[in-house]
Amino acid sequence: MSGSFMLCRRLAGSSKILHKCMQHGWNPKSLPPLTHPLCGRTMSTAFSGSLLDLNFLDEGMAVVTMKSGQNTLQPKAMEEWHQALDAVEQNSECRALVTTGNEKFFSNGLDLDHMKTFTDQKRQLAEYVAELNKLCVRLLLFPLPTVAAISGHAFGGGALMAFAHDLRVMRQDKGWMCLNEILLDVSFTPVLLAIVRAKVPPGPIQTQAVLQAKRYTANEAVKCGIVDQVADQSQLVNTAVLMANDFLGKHGLKRETLHSFKKDLYISVVQTYSGQVRS
């Protein structure tokens, strides 16, 4: 299969791109429409990195799928995350963002093997965690509705990334959510702790989550209010898409307005991230 043919198939959806494809002799009627493997909806691939993919579904939904085993947040993964989020923001027809992982892991958080390579532990760890701060804050304030489809374990930074979404749906039969930083003797940054305070109900639930590193099943997470819905694995992404549509409502939401309201709602996170508040 020629490189031109593969390029055309991957990027079909734009009239300009289709025109270029047809110049290469490609007939758009010769191929069946591509469908997303996790939800069966028609899609076009916008970004395919070594650690995650971005697909646009036929109804204005973007789906980021992490695909690197434990889906740890190594530096390359966070770089690809920003590339994918850039592409979503540049697509004016996109209405919402869904993120998911594989059948065992949503994300297992920071990459401990990468951290073992640090020669200047204090400086390099600070720089590494600063990148997690940046990604979580970007997700928290993203100008579109965001839904985390938690397909498996979400530990540490992976759980924090899920909390940075507007809504969460978790696989019912497998996987835990857990803020296990205390077990690893890794402190929360002020920014990440501000996100925890904004997303995890105060009182006993916050105590269990932060100080006891409680592992929550899907049903326990819904009962505690840290996850919104549960779903079978086969319907996880479809459920997330429906949740995003419900979030948008009948008339949709303007990006600028949603972004502004998120900044107001999470002002403590914004101020901490900008250095106005120290803890």
**pLDDT value, residue 22:** 42
**pLDDT value, residue 27:** 41
Of the candidates 101, 86, 46, 109, which has an alpha carbon nearest to the alpha carbon of residue 237?
101
Same domain (yes/no): 110, 200:
yes
Q: Structural domain tally of the chain?
A: 2
**pLDDT value, residue 233:** 95
List Cα–Cα distances, 154 to 117, 160, 236, in angstroms: 24, 8, 15
Same domain (yes/no): 21, 64:
no
Q: Is residue 260, in this structure, part of any structural domain at all? A: no
Task: Report how far residue 228's alpha carbon sits from residue 43's, in angstroms, rounded to the nearest whole number.
Answer: 26
Of the candidates 97, 102, 124, 98, which has an alpha carbon nearest to the alpha carbon of residue 111?
124
Please report, for the domain that includes residue 161, its CATH number: 3.90.226.10
**pLDDT value, residue 277:** 57
**pLDDT value, residue 42:** 77
In what helix (H) or strand (E) does residue 199 lie, and over which residues does it extend? helix 190-199
Q: Is residue 200, in this structure, part of any structural domain at all? A: yes
Q: Which structural domain range is residue 225 located in?
A: 35-252
Strands 52-57 and 61-66: antiparallel
**pLDDT value, residue 13:** 40
List Cα–Cα distances, 153 to 17, 86, 132, in angstroms: 39, 26, 18
**pLDDT value, residue 58:** 82
Per-residue pLDDT of the chain (279 residues; tens, 9 = 90+): 333 333 333 333 433 433 443 444 434 333 345 666 666 667 688 889 999 999 999 889 999 999 999 999 999 999 999 999 999 999 999 999 999 999 999 999 999 999 999 999 889 999 999 999 999 999 999 999 999 999 999 999 999 999 999 999 999 999 999 999 999 998 999 999 999 999 999 999 999 999 999 999 999 999 999 999 999 999 999 999 999 999 999 999 999 999 999 999 999 999 999 986 554
Same domain (yes/no): 9, 96:
no
Same domain (yes/no): 22, 146:
no
Same domain (yes/no): 75, 177:
yes
Same domain (yes/no): 96, 210:
yes
Q: Is residue 276, in this structure, part of any structural domain at all? A: no
